Amino acid sequence: MKSFSEHSDLEEYKKTADITQRRKQARRMRLISKQSGFQMKKKRTLMKVRDTSKITKSARKQTIKKFRDKAYPNYDDMSISAKVKADQVVMQRFGRKIDKITKKAVMKLRAAEPERVKKFRASQQATQK
């Protein structure tokens, strides 16, 4: 039987970013996140129901974060090189469990998605009034 990762098209999660790539991403996002156009784009996307691939990405990120927090409680305080090493260890040790739990998380997120959008739209209409 093939595992989730063999069927998955989420190859970017199997790659890890090195230190310079992480710093570059952080710098870019710090600049972009302040722009009003980016903030409006973010609001517009939050008002739409996400497709399966985006829900799967989100579920996988959440699952990896849970395993990372369990294995490395002080992950946020680690240096960048230690974080890279920790990510590699987590994927090596818990890769199959992460795939299995991601499937269940996808089902939960998909069921909760319409409610999330409904709440966000209601909050946006409340702030406009």
Number of neighbouring beta carbons within 10 Å of residue 35: 10
Do 118 and 55 belong to one domain?
A: yes
Do 80 and 112 belong to one domain?
A: yes
Do 30 and 91 belong to one domain?
A: no
Do 81 and 23 belong to one domain?
A: no
If phi > 0 it is left, if psi is from -120 to 50 it is alpha, else beta; for residue 66 that is alpha
Instruction: Decide if 129 is inside a domain.
Output: yes
Mean pLDDT of 91-104: 94
Q: What is residue 8's predicted lDDT score, i.e. its pLDDT? A: 57
pLDDT greater than 70 at residue 3: no
Q: How many domains does the chain have?
A: 2
Do 80 and 29 belong to one domain?
A: no
Rounded to 10°, the helix 36-46/80-128 angle is 80
Do 62 and 116 belong to one domain?
A: yes
pTM of the model: 0.73
Instruction: Decide if 12 is inside a domain.
Output: no
pLDDT greater than 60 at residue 12: no
Confidence of residue 18 (pLDDT cuts 50, 70, 90): confident
Q: What is residue 110's predicted lDDT score, i.e. its pLDDT? A: 96
Per the listing, tokens 């600049």 go with 31
- CA-CA distance, 64 to 101, in Å (whole number)? 10
Q: What is residue 91's predicted lDDT score, i.e. its pLDDT? A: 93
Instruction: Decide if 9 is inside a domain.
Output: no
Domain around 86: 49-129
- CA-CA distance, 79 to 22, in Å (whole number)? 12
Amino acid (one-letter) located at 41: K
Q: What is residue 14's predicted lDDT score, i.e. its pLDDT? A: 61
pLDDT greater than 80 at residue 129: no
Amino acid (one-letter) located at 32: I
Distances (CA, A) of 124 to 38, 43, 47, 114, 118: 17, 9, 9, 15, 10
